[in-house]
Chains A and B, each alone.
Chain A
Amino acid sequence: MAAKDILIVEDEKMTARLLDYRLKSLGHSVTHIANGVEALEHIHKKLPDVVILDVMLPGMNGFEILENLNEMKDVDLSRLKVIMLTTKNRPDDISRGFNLGAVEYVSKPFKMEEFLLRLNRLISD
């Protein structure tokens, strides 16, 4: 499977480190950002293949990041795959995430193997 450029937007450091470790061991290129505003700037400058996006973030929450991305005319969102990874798992949160363009919604606590399977399926589509 081809290596992908993956951005982890997550303020829980240990979760981000574990994801970073597992994704790098699969050969992907990984960047980790813990702040919503910085994540938006990063995506705007260099569009990754996949964004793993938490909702509760300092600066700007995950939904707001998606709203901002949807408003940006110069960002080709059709190339970007967003996986929400969050403790916010009420039905209206999930539908909000999908409505804003996320292609996967994973609730915390999560099983790493299952998460990686979903990611693999997504990037091999």
Chain B
Amino acid sequence: MTQPLHNWDVVLLTAILSLLIAATLLTILVTLLTRWRIDYVERRKRVLRESIGDLIIQYTSGDLERGEVEEHLTEKIDYIVLLELVNQLEQSLEGAERKRLQELMEVQSTFDHFLNRFETGTPIEKAKACLYYARIRKIDPNHLPVLKALTRSPEPYLCYSAASALMVHGSLALKRDAFATILQNPSISSMAVTDLIVNFTRFGGEYHDAEATILTEFIQKESISAERRSLLIYSLEQLGYIQAMETLYRYYRQLDKQQAPPDLLEALIRVLARFGMAEILPDLYRFFSNSPHAILREAAADAYGLLKAPESIPHLHWLINDPDFHVRHQAALSLATFPGEDLDRVPSLMLDPDEWEELKDEVQPQTKSSP
């Protein structure tokens, strides 16, 4: 049997209910206000991007003077939006328009803004200023030692940004020092290192002999991780630094083929083979067709296809039956590039017949279509 509610019970329940309603209304109000504020900021940014975008387009097309652009740049957000939009457009253009875009980066007010950030800003502001320095043609030489010190910062983004600026404005010795520091910093991503390698070589001499020498010197430094050294080896190949191949081969020869880090050996095998160094073949037959590391067997299969020595064919027949799929795939691909080699006649004793048919279908159209 239920008892009737007393007056104070009713009052208490009403108060709780009112509080709940008030809290709900307040939450809704706060949510709406927050949403409105986000929309407002987004709208403002959009309008700003449109107006600064218009200025950039007109300046790039030669329809505005620098002073007219400068008049519109007054707030911090203006410079940030300007840089972002210039970056986007710069990637598509070259010639006169690109030059005008670079001039736009160097308007006095933009320069002063970043100079101030570089001298007094927080680490992230300093990093932005360094990235800005990496984009302009000239900086104060007194800033070079500061940039060098910043490459040793505990903040990886600041190390990278300072090194980027040094790659553009530093002497060869400063670049070398910055590079060595970055390569030994495990907090910096491989993508950032690759980016620095590109800038390091982009602003180098005509034949890049000095850059090639520095890169090969780092490849031989055991204080730098094998992963980073592999990255440098692949970069040498991508940059076409044929002058580095002799040193790279000498380094390869002195490595212990069974003890050296597999990813380092893999990079060396692939790159030396791409540069046509058939001298590595005896080692490949001796150590790598039967290596306990699948990446090295795969690299050997790749090298056999590139170097095209007839003595490699039995090794490819062996590797086509490898327990690792990637090795089998590479071996089939390499074998199909040998004139007169027909995959239908290759013994595939260890393979599942369906997989073998699939592999042949995949590999043969690729090789048949290549010249």
Contacts and interface: CB of A to CB of B under 8 A. Distances in A.
B64 to A, nearest CB: 12
A95 to B, nearest CB: 12
B97 A14 contact: no
Nearest to B88: A14
B57 A111 contact: no
B61 interface: yes
B295 interface: no
A110 B53 contact: no
Nearest to A20: B57
B205 interface: no
A113 B88 contact: no
A28 interface: no
Given A17-B57, A18-B60, A21-B57, A111 B96 contact: yes
Contacts of B88: 12-15
Contacts of B95: 111-114
Interface residues of A, number: 16
B58 interface: yes
Contacts of B93: 15, 18, 109-112
B54 to A, nearest CB: 8
Contact of A25 (B53, B61, B96, B98): B61
A108 B89 CA distance: 11
Size class of the B contact interface (CB-based, 8 Å): 10 to 19
Contacts of B238: none
Given A111-B96, A113-B96, A18 B91 contact: no
A21 to B, nearest CB: 5
Contact of B98 (A12, A22, A109): A109
B53 A108 contact: no
Contacts of A110: 92-94
Contacts of A114: 95
A14 B85 contact: yes
A109 B96 CA distance: 12
Nearest to B58: A21
Interface string A86-109: 000000000000000000000011
B61 A22 contact: yes
Contacts of B248: none
Contacts of B91: 12, 108-109
A56 to B, nearest CB: 12
A112 B97 CA distance: 7
Interface in B33-75: 53, 56-58, 60-61
Contacts of B53: 13-14, 17
Nearest to A18: B57
Interface in A105-125: 108-114
A21 B60 CA distance: 11
Contact of B97 (A12, A17, A25, A111): A111
Contacts of A113: 95-96
B368 to A, nearest CB: 15
A18 B98 contact: no
Interface in A1-32: 12-15, 17-18, 21-22, 25
B96 A112 contact: yes
Contact of A18 (B61, B94, B96): B61
A18 B54 CA distance: 9
A109 B58 contact: no
Given A14-B53, A14-B85, A17-B53, A108 B92 contact: yes
A97 B56 CA distance: 31
Contacts of A12: 88, 91-92
Interface in B80-116: 85, 88-89, 91-98
Contacts of B97: 18, 111-112
Contacts of A17: 53, 57
Given A14-B53, A17-B57, A109-B91, 9 more contacts: A14-B57, A14-B92, A15-B88, A18-B57, A21-B61, A109-B92, A109-B94, A111-B93, A113-B96
12 contacts: A12-B88, A12-B91, A12-B92, A17-B53, A17-B57, A18-B57, A18-B93, A21-B57, A22-B61, A108-B91, A110-B94, A111-B97
Interface of B: 53, 56-58, 60-61, 85, 88-89, 91-98
6 tightest A-B contacts by CB? A111-B95, A14-B89, A109-B94, A15-B92, A14-B88, A21-B57
